[in-house]
Amino acid sequence: MVVGPDGRQRTATAAAETWRSELDEIAPGRFAVMVRAVVTGARAAATGTFRARVRDARGGWIVVHAGRLVAGEDDGETVVTFGRASGAELLGVLLAAYGLTARERDVCHEVPAGLSTSDIAARLAISAHTVQDHLKSVFGKVGVRSRGELTAALLS
Q: Region 100-121: what's the mean pLDDT?
A: 93
**Minimal CA–CA distance to 136: which of 107, 93, 156, 113?**
107
Residue 10 three-state SS: strand
Q: Does pTM surpass 0.95?
A: no
137 has pLDDT over 80: yes
CA distance 83 to 18: 11
- What percent of the chain clears pLDDT 90, i.e. is strictly above it? 64
141 has pLDDT over 90: yes
CA 113-115-121 angle, 5° bins: 125
State residue 100's pLDDT score.
95
Better-scored residue on pLDDT, 124 or 95: 124
CA distance 75 to 70: 10
pLDDT tens, position by position, 30-71: 999 999 999 999 999 988 999 998 888 887 889 999 999 886
State residue 155's pLDDT score.
77
Q: What is the mean pLDDT of the chain?
A: 90
Q: Region 123-142: what's the mean pLDDT?
A: 96
State residue 93's pLDDT score.
79
State residue 32's pLDDT score.
93
State residue 153's pLDDT score.
87
**Which residues belong to CATH 1.10.10.10 in the chain?**
89-155
Answer for the pair 123, 82: CB distance below 8 angstroms, yes or no: no
Among the listed ranges 2-16, 67-81, 109-123, which one has the minimum average pLDDT value? 67-81
CA distance 55 to 76: 29
**Minimal CA–CA distance to 87: which of 67, 61, 105, 59?**
61
Task: Domain 89-155: give its CATH architecture.
Answer: Orthogonal Bundle (1.10)
CA distance 132 to 135: 5
CA 32-38-87 angle, 5° bins: 105
